[in-house]
Amino acid sequence: MKKIIFIIIALVVNVNMLMHAQPKVPTKVIILTGKGQLTSESVEVEMAWKGGLLAKFNEPLENATIEILSIDREVIYQQNMDAKTLSIELPKNKPGKYIIEIISPQGILEGEFYIHN
């Protein structure tokens, strides 16, 4: 009887732990290349599983502009910034290849990414 109670308690504890576990959300780091003093070590851009972008800067950039462009170079998103992180919502239901550009007095970084349905 003690063995059965122990097994039931162990199952309840395991189920409870699984229900409260934080899911690991996959992200995709976008590879950036560029010119000038601004390097890919200065900025990391990730695409979150919900389709947004998160840009993280090692130090705040002043007078920087972030643009999202279609493959035809049409501006989809543009924002001037003086921040250390920036979250960008991407267009919904518009799958395709896009370009991110980070333009600052220190240089320009550019990377490509895809939006899937």
The percent of residues in the chain predicted with pLDDT above 90, rounded, is 18
How many Å apart are CA 114 and CA 117, to the nearest integer? 10
CB neighbours of residue 112 within 10 Å = 14
Please give the mean pLDDT across all residues of the chain. Answer: 77
- pLDDT at 1 (0 to 100): 66
Residue 100's pLDDT is 92
Give the model's confidence band at 92: pLDDT under 50 very low, under 70 low, under 90 confident, else very high. confident
Nearest alpha-carbon partner for 108 in 70, 77, 74, 63:
63
What percent of the chain has a predicted confidence (pLDDT) above 70?
74
The whole-angstrom separation of Cα 22 and Cα 82 is 32
Q: Which residues contact 109 (CB under 8 A, 6 or more apart)?
A: 32, 33, 34, 38, 39, 40, 42, 43, 101, 102
Q: Structure tokens of 92?
A: 């919904």
Global pTM reads 0.70
49, 52, 50, 80: which is closest to 67 by C-alpha?
A: 80
What does the pLDDT look like over 25-70, one tens digit per residue?
455 888 888 888 877 788 888 887 666 888 888 877 778 899 999 9
